[in-house]
Amino acid sequence: MLIVRRLFAPLFAAFSAAMLGLAAGAVWMLPTLFLQRPLPWLAVPAGWLLALAVRNWVRSPGAGAAVLAALATLLAAAYLGVLLAAARVAGAMGLGLVDAMRQAGPGMLLQLARMALSPAAAGWSVAGALVAAFTAWRRPGNRPVRRTTPR
């Protein structure tokens, strides 16, 4: 039983981090499509939020959580690129998003996402992954309580 748990726990943690990354990419797509312009700087707050989620609910703070949070952030950025490529194909062909993803296929969507990736967007994605790794690595500290009333 212990062997199964030792094998299952890291796999479940990786699966959970991947699902969190995909969800973050889908949520990141909403303001990008609404404002109709790329928002690569959202990788930093997305990485921070993913790190908090991984650190608090998937893996305890440390190297494992840092790697999972950084990879989840990079997965969110990649998934955002694929979703935006699918939205462009859908708009150009007059299809729905799901139909466009089905028609184009993963290979074409990944290629379109890679072609649309700018050096600035890649830099923001790496910065978000670094923020995620740093946030997931460190343990939350005990901060002193701030007094709101005068002494």
Quick check: 151 pLDDT over 80? no
Q: Tokens 């600035």 label which residue?
A: 120
**pLDDT at residue 87, rounded to an integer:** 95
The string of pLDDT tens digits covering residues 26-65 is 999 999 999 999 999 999 999 999 999 999 998 888 999 9
Q: Does residue 124 belong to any structural domain of this protein?
A: yes
Q: Does residue 121 belong to any structural domain of this protein?
A: yes
Q: C-alpha distances in angstroms, 145 versus 104, 140, 142?
A: 54, 15, 9
**pLDDT at residue 60, rounded to an integer:** 87
Domains: count for the chain: 1
Compute the mean pLDDT over every residue in the chain, rounded to the nearest whole number.
91
**pLDDT at residue 59, rounded to an integer:** 87
Taking the CA atoms of residue 132, residue 30, residue 18 and residue 128 in that order, the dihedral angle to the nearest 10 degrees is -20
Instruction: Give the global pTM.
Output: 0.88
| Boundaries of domain holding 130 | 11-137
Q: Does residue 1 belong to any structural domain of this protein?
A: no
Q: Does residue 57 belong to any structural domain of this protein?
A: yes
